[in-house]
Amino acid sequence: MRLDRLAPTDVEALLVVLRDKGLAESSIRNVFAVLSQALDVAVRDRLLARNPASAVKRPRVAASEAVHLDVTQVGSLLDAANGMRYVDALRLIAATGLRRGEALGLSWGDVEVKPLEVV
């Protein structure tokens, strides 16, 4: 589709297609954000008179409560991961409550791994 023919209804139709394909709401929101930014650049470069995505309501992501594993589930996870490449990272996460990205941002030289004691 040519940029000058892109309408807000086309953007909305894209969002519907993404929902129908089963994409998570957060992914749909990210697609919308990237598209909107790209269209802003097109407006800046005078390829478009206006951004059609600006007339579309930004997709909302419903807040949800994080799901946490209980002690038994953590033990089962660590038992299943025993001998795998990332078992030490899982132990660190279980023992400290770090998020995955925080744990992966560490260098192994920064971490002293000790056996996990389940209370």
Residue spans of the domains in the chain: they are 3-55, 71-110
Residue 33 belongs to what H/E stretch? helix 25-44
Tens of pLDDT, residues 43-61 = 999 999 999 999 999 998 8
Contact of 92 with 78, CB cutoff 8 Å: no
Distance between CA 99 and CA 105 in Å, rounded?
A: 10
Which residues neighbour 118 within 8 Å (Cβ) at sequence distance 6 or greater? 71, 74, 75
Residue 38 confidence (pLDDT): 97
Tens of pLDDT, residues 82-117 = 999 989 889 889 988 898 888 888 887 876 767 767
pLDDT at residue 6 greater than cutoff 80: yes
Residue 88 confidence (pLDDT): 84
Residue 86 confidence (pLDDT): 86
- Amino acid found at 76: S
Average the pLDDT over 5-20 and give the result: 96
Residue 39 pLDDT grade (very low, low, confident, very high; cuts 50, 70, 90): very high
